[in-house]
Every structure is written in C-alpha cells, then in structure tokens.
C-alpha cells in the first residue's frame, strides 16, 4: 500500500523527489484549501524553505499528489530533514478528495526574516510549471524575493535537476 503525499515546495520537482524516493509515482496536481504557502522555514543552509500555514478562508496552496511506496516513506522523512512535522491534510485532486501526508515547519524552525536561495526558488517554480499548476499561482511564486547562495557546489548540485519535468 502506498502513502499519498502532498508536495508544495521543492519536491514539486519530480526528478529531485525521485532522487530521494526512487519508487515515487506522480498522480497529478492537487490543492489544499484554507492554507497559505510561506518561505519561512529555516533551512540548515541558512535560507528559507517552504512551509504551509492554516489561515482558513479562501486561501489555497496548489501542489501535487504523489504515491510513495510505504517501504520508502522513511526516505521521504529523511529527505525533508529536521524542522518539519508530517501531518495529514485533505486535498482535492484528480483522484478525488483524499487525505495525504504533508510537512509543516515546527514553530521553533520558523523565521519570517529568511529568504530562499535562488536555486531553491527555481526548483519550486520549475516544478510548479512542469506539473501544470495554474499560471497565476506560478506567477506569485516567481515574485518571491530570493538571495544568491555563495556555495557554488551546492548551487551546482541543486540546479542539476532543472528544468523539472512533471513525471520524470
């Protein structure tokens, strides 16, 4: 039995996710109502990473639904790293309304002053585009301020996944 996983950040980049979880299958776009995307999770590299916040109302986070083999669920947890908790969320998808696992930043890892690195933002934007997420939503992702990463090796390693493709 697979675990359903709702991705909304850099894991929208299918080949990057597949590098961590080889058996992953893309199930298509999905949306989470009542939440907003924030780039305020403190990464171990000093930059801002994506998280979601339950704000209610008309807010929507667009993302993608993936099937993760249960035997590889721990690999996904390791890839997400510290500073996140996994929670169940109800998302709307091409599979219907389903409950899926996603990750949210723990309170102690939130820093609203953090900004993403340019390569991280590029992974999120390219992943969103490759999955056919709504154009207007992708444009809001493009508007996020990002900073350059001075670690050239880290930049090279992460940019190797660009451009993202929707299913490998």
CA distances from residue 8 to 1, 59, 64, 71 in whole angstroms, order as listed: 23, 14, 7, 22
The pLDDT profile of the chain, 168 residues, written as one tens digit per residue, is 899 999 999 999 999 999 999 999 999 999 999 999 999 999 999 999 999 999 999 999 999 999 999 999 999 999 998 999 999 999 999 989 999 999 999 999 999 999 999 999 999 999 999 999 999 999 999 999 999 999 999 999 999 999 999 776
Arch. (CATH architecture) of 2-159: Roll (3.10)
Q: How far apart are CA 68 and CA 22, in angstroms?
A: 9
Q: How far apart are CA 26 and CA 157, in angstroms?
A: 23
DSSP conformation letters of 60-100? EEEEEEEEEEGGGHHHHHHHH-TTEEEEEEEEEETTEEEEE
Domain ranges of the chain: 2-159
Whole-prediction pTM value?
A: 0.96
- Whether 69 and 12 have beta carbons less than 8 Å apart is answered as no
Q: Is the dihedral of CA 45, 163, 35, 143 positive or negative?
A: positive
Residue 93: the pLDDT is 96
Q: How many Cα atoms sit within 13 Å of 144 on the Cβ side?
A: 29
């Amino acid at each position: 039995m697979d675990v359903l996983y709702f991705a909304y950040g850099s894991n929208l980049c299918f080949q990057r996710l597949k590098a961590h979880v080889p058996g992953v299958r893309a199930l298509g776009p999905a949306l989470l109502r009542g939440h907003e995307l924030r780039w305020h999770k403190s990464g171990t590299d000093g930059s801002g990473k994506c998280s979601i916040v339950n704000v209610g109302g008309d807010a929507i986070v667009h993302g993608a639904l993936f099937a993760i083999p249960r035997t590889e669920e721990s690999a996904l947890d390791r890839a997400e790293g510290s500073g996140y908790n996994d929670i169940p969320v109800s998302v709307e998808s091409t599979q219907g309304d389903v409950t899926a696992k996603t990750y949210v930043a723990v309170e102690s890892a939130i820093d609203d002053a953090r900004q993403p690195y340019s390569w991280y933002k590029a992974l999120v934007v390219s992943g969103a585009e490759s999955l056919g997420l709504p154009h207007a939503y992708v444009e809001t992702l493009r508007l996020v301020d990002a900073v350059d990463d001075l670690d050239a090796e880290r930049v090279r390693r992460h940019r190797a996944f660009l451009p993202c493709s929707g299913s490998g």
